[in-house]
Amino acid sequence: MQETSITNTGNDLLADMAVNLERASPGKRFLNYIIDVVIFYVCSFLAGAVIGIATGGATLSQFELYFVALALFFLLYFIEEAFMKGKTIGKLLTGTRAVNEDGSPITVKTAALRTIIRFVPFEPFSTFGYLPWHDSWARTIVIDERRSTLPQ
């Protein structure tokens, strides 16, 4: 596991408090992915049922189905990370969180950027490197909350 330490150099009482960001292990990140994929499939099934009922059982074209799947994927990741402060259901269950490289919480803009980058072709293969593209390009890291000390 890689560890990144940042020290607060402000002139306040907590100036000597160290910020310690310990990256989540590859195993936890993979478990996050598996949980989030299961959540996506459950939501896809429910969305399909709603669409089926709303359209009276009419079938959608391949393009329409692809668009619905992409929109659902974007909404799930974006809404979870933006409004749960860097967490998805998978991250919530494993005690991990996406934060900016300095340990500050991600913004709505950063959550959107991380989600859009996931659509880049071959992005899933970037997980075999040091950092997935949705982390390195958005300047974020996924940390193990239990082992990290975040800025106040």
- Residues 38-80 have pLDDT tens digits of 999 999 999 999 988 998 888 888 999 899 999 999 999 999 9
Question: Residue 130 has what pLDDT?
Answer: 79
* Mean pLDDT on 84-109: 95
What's the gap between Cα 61 and its chain centre?
30
Which helix (H) or strand (E) covers residue 77, if one does?
A: helix 62-83
Q: pLDDT band for 13, please (50, 70, 90 cuts).
A: low
Farthest CA pair distance, the chain: 65
Q: pLDDT band for 89, please (50, 70, 90 cuts).
A: very high
Measure the CA–CA gap between 87 and 89, rounded to whole angstroms. Answer: 7
Ramachandran angles phi, psi of 131, nearest 5°: -135, 140
Answer whether residue 7 shows pLDDT above 70: no
Question: Residue 11 has what pLDDT?
Answer: 54
Measure the CA–CA gap between 7 and 18, rounded to whole angstroms. Answer: 5
Tokens, residue 84: 């749960």
User: How high does pLDDT run on average in the chain?
Assistant: 87
